[in-house]
């Protein structure tokens, strides 16, 4: 039975990978130079700045402005339209900090960036970046939206897992090494989020207003960006959602022009976070080079501002010159990309790097009585925890979420390692918020035969007109990775719905979880239970309903994909399971109990506390009381409380 794939934060216990490919690292095919005479900017003998000036002189105002905003819908996270008249390549932006994200398949699911930071190894951080850069290039992307180098000011920050710690020096050293790795493979790195972005609560809202003195700014929050620019030589910077001293970061001239460009010496281009542009004239005159995604402020509004003189031609040219110079400097004009978003790009070497990061990013906090490593005296091992089984947490949520089609769970790895020398049992212990995938035996399609739900696929995002194709799917558990979900269905701009009946196995309160990139909805007996309907990175929402054992209810799952990544999962928590008691009983019967605990984190929401989710702390306490030889493995992107620290042998 396929289970719900849930997001690894620190990469401590699992390394997940996808399909293998034969892509050779660093292979950048040369672009033909036969257009050099007609296009003097194609002469590699000139400097990137000279080439940018030569090209800029041939561009119309409209062509310049096209370079400054998101373009037509594309297969990647976002694109800037190509200019065929002048031979300007399409810019293809793709998340992210932990690998090729946005729902892409056939990639390596690296451990979270915080694990790379925990290795304290610059060379390993460079290798980490090389995997990201190589796979992004192989997928056809030429800008990687990462790394994230914001300081973890508060351990409750939802994106702590994708950043590089609370230490300015460590974040800078690891971030710069990561950038060098990414850019060595072809893509430009767009380091983020500049600056002072340290919480999800009220993000992109004036109420998230950062007030600090200059010394704090320069000693704590800017050093990582200084390293990214000066040591990492990042080609691009993403400005943040934060307001700094009352002014949005993306229209803050003091941050962009005075500090970033003036003090730090940055010569690349600045792009806004998605929806982080809030003005036209103020942003353009403050140094924002590119609006993402779309053109609400840098399309017609910018054209009007230039025509009226509110934004000068010199300012406009400066923006475009910075973008073009980075494109020339990175080699984008001189190479031809052949990769596509559906190409499998993971390799055995990439997977080995992922494993090494997971190993070297792990931290041994306690080992009383040399409890670890587990020896041959352990004939009975009780593996406990939702995070050890099919629901193992393998990636944080949001734009940094990287999917995987193949996960080695901690339990299966321990069984394999123990071999015939020990009996290894598994107890879930507690139910994760997302639960397990709703399995096919409980589902009956509205049309067709067998178990599952009847799926219908439509052109467009509104499920309108006649379905292009239909079929029975055993579960709602898909990682399309930006590819077409079925024959005749476009890769982008489509929708689908699955219908049938659900027969509950027991009576009680069921919690359903719907995860999707982009939008999804769940209806039970015609009533909407979950509304997750938005153009968004992978996002999970839950809903609870009381059901009766053996009494079928109608079920409908709706979905749309508007471009970029595409994935959909329906999970549930079945009531009346004494998971806690079963785990304690298993611990009593074992020589050693190994409890895997986690803390789910993700973009868009901060944590309310630093306690382990659900009743995991109580589970550890009770297991340790039943078996003093208890080992705890924490899978978290940030700090967690450990009230049981004195009761266990190893952490």
CATH of the domain at 367: 3.40.50.1700
Same domain, residue pair 226 and 322? yes
User: Within a domain: residue 340?
Assistant: no
Residue 287 tokens, joined: 């140094």
pLDDT digits (tens, 9 = 90+) for 326-365: 999 999 999 999 999 999 999 999 999 999 999 999 999 9
Same domain, residue pair 489 and 542? yes
User: Within a domain: residue 14?
Assistant: no
Same domain, residue pair 633 and 561? no
| Predicted local confidence at residue 100, as pLDDT | 96
| Predicted local confidence at residue 36, as pLDDT | 54
CATH of the domain at 309: 3.20.20.300
Same domain, residue pair 560 and 593? no
Same domain, residue pair 382 and 440? no
Q: What is the extent of the structural domain holding 618?
A: 348-431+577-647
> 520: which strand partners?
532, 559
Confidence of residue 11 (pLDDT cuts 50, 70, 90): very low
Domain count, the chain: 3
Residue 33 has pLDDT above 90, yes or no: no
- Of 312, 334, 356, the last residue of a domain is 334
Quote the mean pLDDT of the chain: 92
Residue 32 has pLDDT above 80, yes or no: no
User: Within a domain: residue 25?
Assistant: no
User: Within a domain: residue 98?
Assistant: yes
The single residue listed with the structure tokens 């897992």 is 161
Sign of CA dihedral 312, 316, 317, 319: positive
User: Within a domain: residue 32?
Assistant: no
User: Within a domain: residue 87?
Assistant: yes
| Predicted local confidence at residue 23, as pLDDT | 34
Percent of the chain topping pLDDT 90? 78
Same domain, residue pair 103 and 157? yes
pLDDT digits (tens, 9 = 90+) for 178-211: 999 999 999 999 999 999 999 998 889 898 999 9
pLDDT digits (tens, 9 = 90+) for 274-331: 999 999 999 999 999 999 988 999 999 999 999 999 999 999 999 999 999 999 999 9
- Of 573, 604, 631, the last residue of a domain is 573
Percent of the chain topping pLDDT 70? 94
Residue 461 has pLDDT above 50, yes or no: yes
- Of 307, 334, 361, the last residue of a domain is 334
Lowest average pLDDT, out of 48-62, 209-223, 558-572, goes to 558-572
Same domain, residue pair 187 and 109? yes
Catalytic residue positions?
273
d(C-alpha 371, C-alpha 631), whole Å: 8
d(C-alpha 37, C-alpha 43), whole Å: 8
Same domain, residue pair 423 and 458? no
Confidence of residue 175 (pLDDT cuts 50, 70, 90): very high
Same domain, residue pair 516 and 503? yes
Same domain, residue pair 608 and 631? yes
Report the candidate in 591, 581, 597, 609 with the shortest Cα–Cα distance to residue 651: 597
Report the candidate in 274, 242, 249 with the shortest Cα–Cα distance to residue 78: 274
User: Within a domain: residue 311?
Assistant: yes
pLDDT digits (tens, 9 = 90+) for 218-252: 999 999 999 999 999 999 999 999 999 999 999 99
d(C-alpha 150, C-alpha 162), whole Å: 9
Query: Measured at the alpha carbon of residue 612, what is the angle toward residues 609 and 618, in degrees to the nearest 5?
Result: 120
Same domain, residue pair 152 and 119? yes
Same domain, residue pair 419 and 470? no
User: Within a domain: residue 298?
Assistant: yes
d(C-alpha 182, C-alpha 236), whole Å: 12
């Amino acid at each position: 039975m396929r289970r719900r794939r849930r997001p690894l934060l620190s990469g401590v216990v699992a390394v997940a990978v996808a399909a293998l490919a034969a892509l050779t690292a660093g292979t950048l095919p040369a672009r033909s130079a036969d257009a050099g005479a007609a296009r003097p900017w194609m002469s590699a003998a000139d400097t990137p700045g000279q080439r940018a000036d030569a090209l800029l002189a041939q561009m119309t105002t409209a062509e310049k402005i096209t370079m400054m905003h998101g373009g037509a819908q594309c297969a990647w996270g976002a694109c800037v339209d190509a200019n065929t008249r002048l031979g300007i390549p399409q810019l293809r932006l793709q998340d992210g900090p932990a690998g090729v994200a946005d729902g892409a398949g056939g990639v390596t699911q690296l451990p979270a960036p915080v694990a790379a930071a925990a290795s304290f190894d610059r060379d390993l951080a460079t290798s980490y970046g090389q995997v990201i850069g190589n796979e992004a290039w192989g997928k056809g992307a030429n800008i990687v939206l990462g790394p994230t180098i914001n300081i973890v000011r508060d351990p409750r920050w939802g994106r702590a897992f994708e950043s590089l710690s609370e230490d300015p020096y460590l974040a800078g050293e690891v971030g710069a090494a990561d950038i060098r790795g990414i850019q060595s493979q072809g893509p430009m790195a767009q380091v983020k989020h500049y600056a002072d972005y340290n919480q999800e609560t009220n993000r992109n809202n004036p109420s998230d207003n950062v007030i600090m003195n200059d010394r704090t700014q320069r000693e704590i929050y800017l050093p990582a960006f200084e390293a990214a620019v000066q040591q990492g030589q990042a080609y691009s910077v993403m400005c943040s959602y934060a307001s700094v001293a009352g002014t949005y970061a993306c229209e803050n001239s003091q941050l962009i022009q005075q500090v970033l460009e003036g003090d730090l010496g940055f010569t690349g281009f600045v792009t806004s976070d998605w929806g982080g542009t809030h003005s036209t004239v103020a942003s353009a005159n403050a140094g924002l080079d590119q609006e993402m995604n779309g053109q609400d402020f840098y399309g017609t509004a910018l054209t009007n501002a230039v025509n009226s003189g509110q934004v000068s031609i010199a300012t406009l040219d400066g923006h475009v010159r910075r973008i073009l110079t980075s494109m020339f400097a990175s080699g984008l004009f001189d190479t031809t990309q052949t990769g596509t978003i559906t190409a499998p790009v993971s390799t055995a070497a990439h997977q080995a790097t992922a494993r090494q990061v997971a190993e070297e990013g792990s931290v041994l906090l306690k080992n009383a009585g040399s409890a670890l490593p587990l020896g041959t005296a352990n004939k009975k091992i009780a593996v406990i925890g939702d995070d050890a089984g099919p629901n193992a947490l393998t990636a944080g949520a949001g734009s940094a979420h990287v999917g995987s089609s193949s996960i080695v769970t901690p339990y299966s790895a321990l069984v394999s390692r123990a071999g015939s020398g020990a009996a290894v049992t598994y107890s879930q212990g507690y139910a994760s918020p997302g639960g397990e995938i709703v399995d096919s035996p409980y589902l009956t399609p509205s049309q067709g035969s067998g178990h599952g739900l009847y799926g219908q696929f439509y052109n467009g995002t509104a499920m309108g007109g006649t379905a292009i194709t239909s079929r029975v799917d055993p579960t709602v558990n898909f990682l399309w990775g930006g590819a077409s979900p079925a024959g005749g269905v476009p890769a982008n701009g489509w929708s689908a719905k699955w219908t049938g009946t659900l027969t509950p196995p027991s009576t009680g309160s069921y919690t359903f979880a719907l995860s999707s990139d982009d939008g999804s909805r769940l209806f039970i007996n015609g009533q909407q239970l979950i509304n997750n309907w938005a153009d968004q990175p992978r996002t999970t929402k839950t809903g609870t309903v009381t059901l009766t054992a053996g009494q079928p209810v109608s079920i409908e799952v709706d979905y749309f994909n508007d471009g970029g990544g595409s994935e959909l999962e329906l999970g549930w928590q079945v009531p009346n399971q004494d998971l806690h008691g079963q785990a304690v009983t298993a611990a009593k019967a074992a020589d050693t109990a190994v409890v895997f605990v986690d803390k789910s984190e993700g973009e868009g929401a901060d944590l309310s506390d630093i306690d382990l989710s659900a009743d995991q702390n109580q589970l550890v306490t009770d297991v340790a009381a039943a078996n003093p030889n208890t080992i705890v493995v924490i899978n978290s992107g940030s700090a967690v409380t450990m009230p049981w620290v004195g009761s266990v042998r190893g952490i």
